[in-house]
Structure 1
Amino acid sequence: MRIVLANVPHPAIGSRSAKDHLPPLGLLAVGGPLIDAGHDVRLIDADRDNTPLPALIRTIARAAPDAVLFGHSGSASAHPVIAAVARGVADVCPGVPVVYGGVYPTYHWREILTDEPYVTAIVRGEGEETIVRLMAALERAPDRTALAAIRGLAFRGPEGPFATRPAPLIRDLESYRVGWELIDPARYRSWGGLRAVAVQFSRGCPQDGPHCGQHGFWTQWRHRDPVRFAQELAWLHREHGVRVITFADETPSASRAVWRTFLEALIAENVDLILVGSTRADDIVRDADLLPLYKQAGWTRFLLAVGHTGPDTRARIGTGGSSGTDRAAIRLLRQHGILSMATSVVGCAEERDRDHWRGLRRLLALDPDQIQMLYVTPHRWTPFARDAADRRVIQTDRTRWDGKHQVLDTRHMAPWRVLLWVKLKEAVLQGRPRALARVLFHPDPGLRRAMRWYTGIGFRMWIYDLARFMVERRTRRGPTLAAFQGTPHETHAAAMETPAERIHERAVVLIPKHPRRRPTGGVVGPKREAQAD
């Protein structure tokens, strides 16, 4: 089959304000298994060039696909754009199956299949194995009667939207490979213009945080083979000149023993890489004696979730750490020449001026190198959606549900006051003398360059946020969260099979697995990639 993987232009401010872009890892992850299954696969990355939607639809149609696959990291903000492109593809390519995957469709499958007739099927949970089975079924049976035998799907049955049993977890993450040959790495840049890709060492998070859907979506924390993963990163550097590796994991370092094996394996490869990603402050403190290995392997910056503002926010949006642990982690990273970025969430219902003031003082005491301010976003598949069910939605445009816009009301503060507190925190944290001294005079030229790059992006976004707020439409008295997005899914948040379900399993439809092939050749060259522009 001729399969098109379509990455739509994402409306999130991070995608539109920054010049740098990373390849769509989720689509590459399903692209590799589809190629190994014998399909002709092409990636059209409209997000990279912010391709207008009509031009993207025409490009997809020119590819004459037998199936079109949409996916994203699962954000709610991407869905309206995917819906518009899918509708256009259905108009110009009638009868071509449209398949949609990611976190958002996994938990909103019923609404999507009810309201969007142009979507043929939704892949729920991990997609590598399910998508291969789905394409085989569509190729054999155009009437789609075979879909009911495939686990991890949702589609329209005789009585309306129907979901099959959850798919089993992919326990061996080496079973399927990333389709790196679908991209030209030279077209993807980060860290101020360096060639970059996103990777995933592990899936899931051992912490079941109420604001996060990682635990429910992935069901269980798993990891790649640490040695083979290090070899793959070294291959990306040697064969394709990749310098920056962004980890898409929530907690890649959850297992100290496995993580140490990976660090030592990557050091043995002797490649000059810049590694950036997220982890928990607890893991940094736990690995105080391993931080020289972190640095030697190439780790340059860690994002740490710290600094929530209001007292009820800290109680409900926990990260498993404490102020003392956060402070210790930041200091340890600094001692070993690794940057820290503190992520702080605002927007709890009971916040007042004094809570924001305390939050600012706490962030100053933590003394991170960089700061990222986010607004709490109550995704339906998280327990926080239950806690916030009665709060009013002030932003009904889902493209703004990206963590950088206020979407819920705050009981004691108008949106403009919340915005001013956020902008004040960003200005103080990034503009204080100590922070500016690091940006201007840090002894490590690589870190100095990185901080200047990020500071430049932050300044542009700071101005953009203020200007956009003036013209952005908000609803003063919008619907409650429960009315806007439906019943929270906390009680059935597991996207894939749980151990209890495996015990009661009666039959499993098996298909041969395709052996994992090590990337061997080039990538899609500039000529073919240009056709997607």
Structure 2
Amino acid sequence: MKILLVNPNFHSGGPENIVGTLPPLGLLYIGGALMKGGYKDIELIDLCKEEDFSDDNEIGNYIVNKKPDIIFIGGMASTASLPRSIAISNAVKELNNEIKIVLGGTHPTYMYNNILKENSCIDFIIRGEGEIPSIELVNAYDNQLDMESIKNIVWRDKSYENEKIRVNEVSDQIVNLNEYLPAWDLINNWENYRAPTNNEITTTIQFSRGCNHRCNFCGQWMFWKKWHCRSTESIADEIKYLNKEHGVTFFFWADENPAQDQKKWIELLNSLKSINVNNEIHHMLNTRVNHILRDEKHLNLYKEAGIFAIDLGMESPLQQRLDYFNKKTTIELNKLTLDLLKKHDIISIVQVLAGLPDETCETLQETGNIFNEWNPDLMHFYFTTPFLWTEFGQQMKKYIVESDISKWDYRNPILKPHAMSLEELHKICRWLKLAFNFNPKKIASIIQINDDYRRMFLINCLIQSLKYRTGDLEISKYK
């Protein structure tokens, strides 16, 4: 059986300007699971790195000529990339309707009914963690077995005169991350994954899945069910392998909350320190401010482990916003966290959510003023995006003015504030970001950083931001 793993050619800008277009980790985990299940004829097609197609017909021909029996498709930004996944699937089905197409990811996990009703090109949807259902699905299809017993899938039952959409039982089983590992050998050319900010070969890795916190706008804690992680030996061995065999030196962590378990986290940091003897391995990750504060006495260990930059989802410097988002933190703790990272020479990157219905020019200006005072190393504005399976999404349904989900990538306003136009909202956020990141004092402070790596990383981040703003950065016509 020939199996293809297809990453759709969708680019969101934003984080890509810093870390580049990353290997499709979710598909690589599916590939690893299928190999573990005994399937060997598997190929990864990363369309983000194969841009020589003039239209979707050419993409469809390219895929069909591989003669696959079944295709797994889905992008990391599962909502915004969905139109690309659907367009590619339609192109394939027009050429060969016998090829089965499986869709996965957060968006399909919750919006499966709409997707299958509106898109006949999709045969199966996997809900939640995909490793175990993917093996069972391929095995059932390969051996013409009944699909009803496979948990976590939604499928088209064509045994009826008018086919039915069948929603199978959802399992409570959590994947053992020590047993299911990414199929890194499916990547043919690692040179495709060099980051624009440091020219290092880059990948995304995952120590843990899930989060014990309940921010109202986030659906990841629902998707992964509960926080679970690999052993420290497993992730450390993977980093050593990727560094030695593929030359990877820049690791972007996909974890929502890697430091949830302090004992395991400190154990992992010590393992990473032992690997990073020449200081050539660099880690960038997301974490919560309360974990930075908790680990204050270990922040030197963070640096020794190779963690040079931390992306903080602070969301806002306004306490009423933090309370509404259910962040379980305070503006005082946020400020203290930034001070600690600066003290220990760790780059702080702050994400700000803007564009709630009660947003005004005054709240945005106050946000900008406070962050100017707090002085993180980099600041980015993202527009609040109301994913409909979240509490926030349900509350915001009546304020949605952008129905094109390809724009639900945090870079485009989705909600209409009462007191300002979308154009005003977009313009003010872009100006505040520009005024903060390109403040002469900010640039002077970056130039004076003694550490060459951190200094050049920040300078290149600013250069990439300018290129993207002026349109000089190459972004796919399929975005």
TM range (shorter): over 0.9
Q: Which residue type is aligned with residue 38 of structure 1?
A: G
1:306–1:229 CA distance, 2 compared to 1 (3 A)? same
Change in CA separation of 1:11 and 1:231 when aligned onto 2, cut-off 3 Å: closer
* Corresponding letter in the other structure for 1:78: S
1:413 corresponds to 2:416: no
Corresponding position: 1:156 with 2:156: yes
SS of 2:201 mapped into structure 1:
strand
* Match of residue 347 from structure 2: 339
Structure 2 residue 43 is the aligned partner of structure 1 residue 42:
yes
Q: Give how far 1:24 is off.
A: 0.4
TM-superposed CA distance for 1:55, in Å, is 2.8
Quickly say closer, same or farther: Cα 1:267–1:387, change in 2 above 3 A: same
How much has 1:49 moved relative to structure 2? 3.4
Could you tell me which of 72, 75, 78 is aligned with 2:78? 75
Is the alpha carbon distance of 1:323 and 1:444 closer, same or farther for their aligned partners in structure 2, counting shifts above 3 Å? same
Q: Please say if 1:322 is aligned against 2:330.
A: yes
2: CA distance, partners of 1:298 / 1:446: 12
Q: Secondary structure at the match of 2:368?
A: helix
Aligned residues of 1:309 and 1:346 also touching (Cα < 8 A): no
2:110 to 107, 115, 118: 107
CA deviation map 1:185-235 (0-9, x unaligned) = 232111332101100110001111100001111110011101221121011
Deviates further, 71-80 or 456-465? 456-465
The aligned residue for residue 262 of structure 1 is 268
**Contact 2:153–2:167 (CA<8 Å) still a contact in 1?**
yes
| Counterparts of residues 218-367 of structure 1 (less than 5 Å) | 218-271=224-277, 272-308=280-316, 313-367=321-375
Residue 29 (1) aligns with residue 21 (2): no
CA contact (8 A) 1:423 1:462 kept: no
Matched-pair contact (CA < 8 Å) for 2:2–2:68: yes
Q: How far has the Cα of 1:363 moved from its partner?
A: 1.1
Deviation at 1:343, TM superposition (A): 0.3
Per-residue deviation, 1:127: 0.4
Instruction: Judge which range, 335-344 or 353-362, deviates more.
Output: 353-362
Distance 1:327 1:243 in 2: 31
TM-score normalized with structure 1 length = 0.83
Letter in 1 for 2:432: K
Q: Would you say the 8 A contact 2:388–2:397 is kept in 1?
A: no
Of the structure 1 ranges 204-213 and 52-61, higher mean CA displacement relative to structure 2 is found in 52-61
Shift of 1:15: 8.0
Q: Distance in 2 between matches of 1:124 and 1:294?
A: 35
Instruction: Determine if contact 1:201/1:224 at 8 Å carries over to the other structure.
Output: yes
Q: Provide the secondary structure at the position in 1 that maps to 2:222.
A: helix
Q: Which residue of 2 aligns with 1:511?
A: none
User: Which of residues 363, 367, 385 in structure 2 aligns to 1:377?
Assistant: 385
Amino acid at match of 1:2: K
- Alpha-carbon offset, residue 103 of structure 1: 0.6
Q: Deviations over 1:361-400 (max 9, x none)?
A: 2211221000111000000111001211221x33222211
Q: In 2, distance between residues paired with 1:103 and 1:254?
A: 21
> How many pairs were matched up?
462
Q: Secondary structure at the match of 2:267?
A: helix
Tell me, in whole angstroms, the C-alpha distance in 2 between the residues paired with 1:428 and 1:418: 15
Give the TM-score of the pair, scaled to structure 2: 0.92
CA distance in 2, matches of 1:310, 1:377: 19
Partner of 2:7: 7
Q: Distance in 2 between matches of 1:49 and 1:337?
A: 38
Counterpart among 435, 442, 453 of residue 428 in structure 1: 435
Question: In the TM superposition, what is the alpha-carbon distance from 1:439 to its structure 2 partner?
Answer: 2.7
Any idea what the Cα deviations from partners look like across 1:135-162, whole Å, max 9, x if unmatched?
0000011xxx611110000012346322
| Higher mean C-alpha displacement, 246-255 vs 323-332 | 323-332
Match of 1:458 among 451, 465, 468: 465
Question: For structure 1, which segment, 146-155 or 18-27, has the greater mean C-alpha deviation from structure 2 after superposition?
Answer: 18-27
Contact 1:438/1:448 (CA < 8 Å) preserved in 2?
no
Bigger mean CA deviation after superposition, 179-188 or 433-442: 433-442
Residues 15 and 81 of structure 1, relative CA distance in 2, 3 Å threshold: farther
Q: Identify which range, 109-118 or 454-463, moves more after superposition.
A: 454-463
Aligned to 1:198: 204
CA offset at residue 11 of structure 1? 4.1
Corresponding position: 1:368 with 2:392: no
**2:192 paired residue number:** 187
Q: Which runs of 5+ in 2 are unaligned?
A: none
| Aligned-partner residue type, residue 153 of structure 1 | I
Looking at structure 2, the residues matched to 455 and 61 of structure 1 have their Cα atoms a distance apart, in angstroms, of 41
- How far the C-alpha of 1:310 sits from its partner, in A, is 6.7
Report the secondary structure of 1:303's partner residue. strand
1:73 is displaced (CA, Å) by 2.2
Asked if the contact 2:317/2:331 (under 8 Å) is kept, the reply is no
Checking the alignment, whether the CA contact within 8 Å between 1:333 and 1:340 is kept in structure 2 is yes
Q: Match of 1:126, as an amino acid? A: E
Query: Percent identity at matched positions?
Result: 26
1:453–1:49 distance in 2 versus 1, CA, 3 Å: farther
Other structure's SS at 1:306 match: strand
> C-alpha separation between the residues in 2 aligned to 1:317 and 1:161?
35
CA 1:47–1:415: 2 relative to 1, 3 Å? same
Amino acid at match of 2:97: P
Report how far residue 325 of structure 1 moved: 1.2
Could you tell me whether the CA contact under 8 Å between 1:174 and 1:225 is conserved in 2? Answer: yes
Using the alignment, how far apart are the partners of 2:15 and 2:9 within structure 1? 8
Aligned pair in 2 of structure 1 residues 396, 51: CA closer, same or farther (>3 Å)?
Answer: farther
Picking from 66, 74, 88, the partner of 2:69 is 66
* 1:310/1:461 CA distance change after superposition, 3 Å: farther
**In structure 1, C-alpha distance between the alignment counterparts of 2:17 and 2:338, rounded to whole Å:** 28
Is 1:57 the counterpart of 2:60? The answer is yes
Matched, 1:130 2:133: yes
Q: Residue type matched to 2:102 in 1? A: V
Corresponding letter in the other structure for 2:45: I
* Deviations 1:27-74, CA, capped at 9 Å, x for gaps: 001101112222210000001233533332222111100111102225
2:288–2:312 Cα contact (<8 Å) kept = yes
Tell me, in whole angstroms, the C-alpha distance in 2 between the residues paired with 1:34 and 1:270.
32
Distance verdict in 2 for CA 1:101–1:460, change over 3 Å: same
Within 2, Cα distance between the matches of 1:238 and 1:17? 26
